[in-house]
Amino acid sequence: MRPVRLPATGQQPQSVTLPLGKGRKLSLAPGETLKVPVMFQSDKKQDDFSSKVVINSNDPTQAEVKVEVKAFVKRMVWQEPAGGIVIRTLDAGPGVSSKVHLENRMPEPLQLEYSGTNIPGLQVQIDELSEGRIYDVTATMSEKLEPGTLEGAVVFRTGWSNEPQLIVPVWLTLIRYVEASPRAIYVDPVQSQPKKKTVSLQFYGDAATRATSATCTLPDVQVTLGRVQKVPPRGKPGRLIFKAYQRATVIVPPASKIPPEGVYIEFTTTDPQCPTVKVLVTTNKQQWSGLTYGRKAGRLQR
């Protein structure tokens, strides 16, 4: 954690908003200096890392200040990809797999042994490429994947007394041929007026796919479909990217009109493998979060 110095150089008191949660407001007298601690999470990061802290104030000459934060995260075991084992596929399996490359950055040899995982049906194979130094780990699903994202981990024994375990994150994502982004629309329980939201339907199969209609059991939810936009090839070869998308404008009613269990918007598409796609409209933040950010696996078996 490092402090950032914020001097007030003007002639008038300044109101400063810091990016903490919804924003923490502080006042500085002319000539006063404020030290703000800046801390970042090093989880799932390695080597060079940079980010920016944006500070807003009522200073007429410089209302926004951006402070660059740089760090170097040294890992005992370097991994590629940095996010761990990532399976992102249209194929539900079983048999889908992914690989993570591990390199020992410590002088002591690494004695990598599989310990456990909290992902049901995940099989792990370790290949030692250089004794005690370099390993490839292949993870294969022996069961079918469910739509959405599941976050878990694999645990290894290292043979080191000071760091006996190595935990490698696991991300499993089964993508449907038509994906809705977001998969759920959150309506704040205090919302008292209708609001406009946007849903993007992403087509991974045929670029000519489109949504033909959208219905909702609650008439107050109004949906207007836009035109299909094709996406040119981009990114690394083999990377799974949607070929076209179609935006839908959604007018959601005040929260008082949405039932506790929420309501679904159902989109009808021309894709034979994914003829319908549902988007939940809810005032339940936990429901919304589960669909938006995915599920977490259970207790880690070590």
Beta strands at 276-282 and 184-186: parallel, antiparallel or unpaired: parallel
Residue 298 lies in a domain: no
One domain, residues 194 and 267: yes
87-114 in b/e form (b: 16+ CB < 10 A) is: bebeeebeebbbebebebeeeeebebee
In this prediction, residue 19 carries a pLDDT of 53
Residue finishing a domain among 158, 174, 190: 174
Specify the pLDDT at position 78.
Answer: 94
Q: Are residues 39 and 101 in the same domain?
A: no
Q: Based on the domain organization, do 250 and 151 belong to the same domain?
A: no
**pLDDT of 172-219, one tens digit each?**
999 999 999 999 999 999 999 999 999 999 999 999 999 999 999 999
pLDDT in tens, 42-70: 666 777 778 777 777 777 777 787 878 78
* CATH code, domain with 251: 2.60.40.10
Is 8 within the bounds of a domain?
yes
Specify if 302 maps to a domain.
no
* 61-89: average pLDDT: 85
By residue range, what is the domain housing residue 169? 77-174
Q: Which of 143, 174, 205 is the last residue of a domain?
A: 174
Q: What is the pLDDT of residue 188?
A: 95
- Within-domain flag for 299: no
283 and 183 housed in the same domain:
yes
Torsion (CA) 231, 232, 237, 243 in degrees, nearest 10: 30
pLDDT in tens, 228-275: 999 988 767 667 899 999 999 999 999 999 999 999 999 999 999 999
Q: What pLDDT does 238 receive?
A: 67
- Residue pair 276/213 in contact by the 8 Å Cβ criterion: no
- Distance separating alpha carbons of residues 76 and 123, to the nearest angstrom: 24
Identify whether residues 146 and 125 lie together within a single domain: yes
- Do 187 and 151 lie in one domain? The reply is no
Final residue of a structural domain among 108, 140, 174: 174
Confidence of residue 113 (pLDDT cuts 50, 70, 90): very high
> At 287, is the pLDDT very low, low, confident or very high (cuts 50, 70, 90)?
very high
Q: Are residues 189 and 252 in the same domain?
A: yes
Whether 88 and 163 share a structural domain: yes
Query: Are residues 234 and 163 part of one domain?
Result: no
Residue 301 falls within a domain, yes or no? no
Cβ–Cβ under 8 Å, residues 302 and 113 = no
Give dist(CA 251, CA 221) in Å, integer.
Answer: 6
Domain count, the chain: 3
pLDDT of residue 104: 97
pTM score, whole prediction: 0.73
In a domain, 300, yes or no: no
Q: Over 60: is that where the pLDDT of 280 sits?
A: yes
Residues 30, 63, single domain; the answer is yes
Per-residue confidence (pLDDT) for residue 120, from 0 to 100: 92
Residue 1 confidence (pLDDT): 47
Both 162 and 105 in one domain: the answer is: yes
Same domain (yes/no): 280, 186:
yes
